[in-house]
Chain A
Amino acid sequence: DNISLKFHSGLAQSRPEANQIERFASLVDEKSGGELKIEVYHAGALGLKEADMLRILQQGMVDMALLYGEYYTRDAPALASVYAQGAITEASQHNDILDVIRELYDEGFANWNIHIVGGVVAPIFDVGLHCKEPVNTLEELQNKKVRVWSRHLVDTFDLLGISAQVIPQNDMYMALQTGVVDCAYYLSTVAPTVSLQEVTEYEAYLHPWAASPWLFGISERALSRLNDNQRQALEAAGQEIWQETAATAVDPEREAQARQEREALGITMLPAFSDEDQNTFVTAAWEAWQAMAEESGEEGVRYYQTVTQALSENH
């Protein structure tokens, strides 16, 4: 029997990761001999919110979704403790611990009746401070208001005595334009997709993005409807995308080119934050990460310890 599965993705179609989901869908189609179709709904077109996805998949109200460990702090705070910003200081470190993270996520999502069939290893983009005025030291950030995207980052900046607040991506443009915040902590590589160059003039590199992989999750309810051929096609396609994207996740050339493009758009590239500042930031980030893990309970602490241990061993 031919089956069609609905796939939710909250990412805008303009993000590079979105193409990978489309490729996954066509691979599944191909490998299953047309027996299994994946209908991808980008940009939250199914009307679902990320914070609800665990509950939604657990009950099988949608078949598949693009999952991201940091989104579910309300229902599964431990999952957010697997990986955190500031975890890595060199993009290449990410490859070393990718398998460790993946294993923890597979296990964590399984608690929600969600089976992971591969995913997209996010490109390790540059993360930087995008400001209206030239800022490239933590000292200069002291009297600035910073937009961040998670609780962990608020806590990290808090430890550094810097006032940060979470502002959703859709409100970021206005918040910068009107001056509600002076700087945005953001993925520099994709900053032009949200027109950040129109509201900030300066950029300074801080660290590589500790990107939790985007995982393809399928609800047990949907999985149980599939025959062996369909399951194998799904797993094989997911694995293929995972391996391909893992191979290209770290790409200094891509980052350099993207940096040039941003300069062409009129952004002034400042020298990166100093090594000393980067170390100070990372120390604060780890401290906030540990606190977050402890607050979320035993499972979170175990995730934190497993990942930080793996990181230390690879140092």
Chain B
Amino acid sequence: MSWLLLSGSLVIFLTSGAILGAALGLTGMLLLHFQANGATPLAINATWNMLTDFTLSAVPLFIFLGEILLASGVSKRVYNGLTPLFARVPGQLLHTNIAVCTLFGAVSGSSTSTAAAIGAVGYPELKSRGYNPNVVVGTLAAGGTLGLLIPPSLALIIYGATQNVSIGKLFIAGMLPGLLIALAFSTWIIIRSKIGEPVTPTFKEKVTRSHIVNGLKEIWPLPVLIFFVLGTIYMGIATPTESAALGVVASIVLGLTWGDLTFKRLWQAFKHASIMFTAIGMILIGTVILSQAVSLLGIPRAAVETIGNFGLGPYGILLMIVIVYIVLGCFFDGISLLLMTLPITFPMITSLGFDPIWFGIIVTLLIEIGMITPPVGLNLFVLSSISKNEVDLTAAAKASLPYWLILLGAVGVFTLFPNIILWITQY
């Protein structure tokens, strides 16, 4: 009955083209009202808890940061500087999206922050240079998922703490898979830019060494910003949320001195960024209400328990669990999905003889897949909003499909060769 109400109202509300946050939130409220003994007040508790969460406030901060860099022309000069360097690589600056996301993932614990931080700068810059907007969004949505796998990772910390697995080992184990996936993303970008219609601008003049050298002179603000955002975290001056605020202030100083930022443009940047974030915020409200309803009803637990009763072998059960995560990934994202399912999946999987560290990485991958699985895919929403709906949700989902398949393929490869994950933990 819960499933029927859930899928029924989602289909009606979503296909009608209703505002996504309202559609998801109303579905959640109906579930709470009719299936959970009138627990609709919980919708407010859940919203309040999420939107007063200090950690999540990094998301608007990173969008502020991106908009300020854009308004000051700093990001334009940096990307101009990088262009000659990447001119001969198929896919060109698209690779910077993956590279910067990997770098950013190495300090940020969250997938949404990564997508917001890199997307707010990367999307407008690449689009204005003639890159195909959909393809840009695809690389950014995919790159964002690296934020969760490459350590530090909120998902791994929660996995480790709730299931009593060494967080340090999980972090070490996550490094190689994260880098391999980043490499696979870049490989796909190269393949994609060689087939089908062109997705990158073409160069008329030849790129010489002096172009490259002159270009590199323009990118010095990049290390400065990297210091403020990434360095401060590593040096223990700031938490990830605080580093976002430091980054905003650094970008203002940089923009006012080196770029063309004025106070008028700064105010505009804050306004534009607030609109972008609010569009995301509305969806966050909808998703958190729906998640609250579904977890209160114990739907994920019931789904996983059903599998246990099928009488399958270890790999059969694993396959079913993967499928359940993918299906649930349509409706939920990230940490909430992890908390709802782990109490059941962890004992099931480890009792079948699978390694707890290995499963930590696999389940994080599955969570990442959910971040780019429509209809509820937070990375897709963030980027769609950053593109001012020029790339709508459907297009964003379509553009992310190759990366979705790469992530799923990685789950298969890591299952066949678990030592890719585990070898390093043996030292």
Contacts and interface: CB of A to CB of B under 8 A. Distances in A.
Tell whether any CB of A sits under 8 Å from a CB of B in the complex: yes
Interface of A: 6, 12-14, 39, 41-49, 51-52, 55-56, 59-62, 169-171, 173-175, 177-180, 193-195, 198-199
Contacts of A199: 168
A47 B291 contact: yes
Nearest to A222: B37
Interface residues of B, number: 41
A42 B343 contact: yes
B157 A174 contact: yes
Interface stretch (B217-225, B229-237, B362-370, B390-398): B229-237
A43 B45 contact: no
Scoring B235, B236, B292, B295 by chain A CB atoms within 10 A of each residue's CB, the highest score goes to: B236
Nearest to A174: B152
Contacts of A60: 37
B298 interface: yes
Nearest to A52: B45
B34 to A, nearest CB: 14
A78 B20 CA distance: 42
B36 A61 contact: yes
Contacts of A175: 239
Contacts of A177: 152
Contact of B239 (A12, A14, A170, A174): A174
Given A6-B298, A44-B339, A47-B340, A195 B168 contact: yes
Nearest to B340: A45
A177 B109 CA distance: 13
B41 A61 contact: yes
Scoring B41, B161, B239, B292 by chain A CB atoms within 10 A of each residue's CB, the highest score goes to: B161
A47 B292 contact: yes
B162 A171 contact: no
B16 interface: no
Nearest to A199: B168
Given A171-B55, A171-B239, A43 B162 contact: yes
Given A178-B234, A180-B236, A170 B166 contact: no
Scoring B46, B154, B339 by chain A CB atoms within 10 A of each residue's CB, the highest score goes to: B339
B41 A59 contact: yes
B164 A43 contact: no
A55 B45 contact: yes
A170 B49 CA distance: 16
A12 B167 contact: no
B336 interface: yes
21 contacts: A12-B161, A12-B162, A12-B164, A14-B162, A14-B163, A43-B343, A45-B343, A47-B294, A48-B45, A49-B49, A51-B49, A52-B42, A52-B45, A55-B45, A61-B36, A62-B39, A179-B236, A180-B236, A194-B160, A195-B160, A198-B168
B287 to A, nearest CB: 12
B282 interface: no
Contacts of B166: 195, 198
Nearest to B295: A47
Interface in B234-253: 234-239
Nearest to B301: A45
B184 interface: no
Rank and list the top 9 A-B pairs by shortest CB-CB distance, nearest first: A179-B236, A14-B164, A47-B295, A198-B168, A61-B39, A195-B167, A12-B162, A178-B236, A52-B45
A169 B163 contact: no
Nearest to A18: B343
B296 interface: yes
B82 interface: no
Interface string B96-111: 0000000000000100
A170 B152 CA distance: 12
Given A43-B342, A198-B166, A178 B45 contact: no
A168 B152 CA distance: 16
A43 B42 contact: no
B298 A41 contact: yes
Contacts of A45: 295, 298, 301, 339-340, 342-343
A169 B161 contact: yes
A49 B340 contact: no
B30 interface: no
B175 interface: no
A59 B339 CA distance: 24
A178 B291 CA distance: 32
Contacts of B291: 47
B158 interface: yes
Nearest to B294: A47
